[in-house]
């Protein structure tokens, strides 16, 4: 793993820096990308270069980052003034979606462990850096990144919203055809 990390870290970081301005996020995503790529090596079919394979994973991570950032902006606006402005500019349909997402996130957070809930809130609601969380918990940066990764996985495993929406969309399409 270390050899793989050292071989690709600078290139992956450079690739991500072209897509994302936040250096903390670039660092975090670079680690996530390299971990995901390393874990996916057994399924790598060598139809492209190893670096192209890693970049494709990085592209997906960047898309996920911006999607989560958009949802986070909508859901966890910390400043009431920004919340008010956002509320005024949202159409009624998006307003309903926003409330629905808030409820689903709340339900999902209730289903996960207290420690996972706390670290996710610090990171995504309060906007703490991974380093600040590490200091607060008296952990190393790597240990904190691991806890965040496990907390995100736990959240994702408990998340039912996407599956529910996909089923509703299929059912709506069937109803509209009939």
pLDDT in tens, 48-77: 888 888 888 889 888 888 777 766 555 544
* Residue located via tokens 């192209």: 52
pLDDT per residue as tens digits for the range 146-164:
999 998 888 888 876 555 5
CATH code for position 61? 1.10.1740
Q: Please, what is the Cα angle at 88 between 85 and 90, to 5 degrees?
A: 105
Domain annotation covers residue 170: yes
Residues 169 and 103 in one domain: yes
Contacts of 37 (CB under 8 A, 6+ apart): 4, 8, 53, 54, 57
Q: What is the pLDDT of residue 172?
A: 54
Domain annotation covers residue 85: no
pTM of the model: 0.42
Domain annotation covers residue 83: no
Percent of the residues in the chain that have a pLDDT greater than 90, as a whole number: 13
Number of domains in the chain: 2
Tokens of 169: 């969309």
Domain annotation covers residue 131: yes
Domain annotation covers residue 87: no
Q: What is the pLDDT of residue 140?
A: 93
Domain annotation covers residue 151: yes
Q: Which domain holds residue 161?
A: 92-177
Of 6-10, 71-75, 77-81, the range with the lowest mean pLDDT is 77-81
Where do the H-state alpha helices sit in 49-91? 50-75, 80-89
* Residue located via tokens 């496990």: 150
Residues 64 and 6 in one domain: yes
């Amino acid at each position: 793993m270390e050899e793989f990390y050292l071989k690709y870290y600078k290139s992956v970081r450079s690739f991500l820096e072209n897509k994302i301005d936040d250096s903390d996020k670039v660092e975090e995503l670079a680690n996530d990308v390299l971990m995901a790529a390393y874990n996916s090596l057994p399924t790598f079919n060598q139809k492209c270069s190893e670096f192209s394979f890693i970049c494709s994973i990085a592209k997906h991570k960047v898309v996920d980052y911006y999607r989560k950032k958009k949802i986070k902006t909508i859901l966890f606006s910390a400043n009431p003034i920004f919340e008010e402005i956002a509320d005024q500019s949202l159409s009624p349909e998006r307003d309903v979606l926003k409330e629905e997402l808030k409820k689903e996130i709340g339900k999902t957070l209730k289903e996960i462990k207290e420690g996972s809930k706390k670290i996710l809130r610090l990171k995504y609601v309060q906007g703490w850096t991974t380093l600040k969380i590490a200091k607060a918990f008296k952990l190393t940066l790597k240990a904190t990144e691991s806890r965040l990764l496990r907390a995100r996985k736990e959240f994702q495993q408990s998340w039912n919203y996407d599956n529910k929406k996909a089923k509703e969309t299929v059912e709506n399409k069937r109803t509209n055809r009939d």
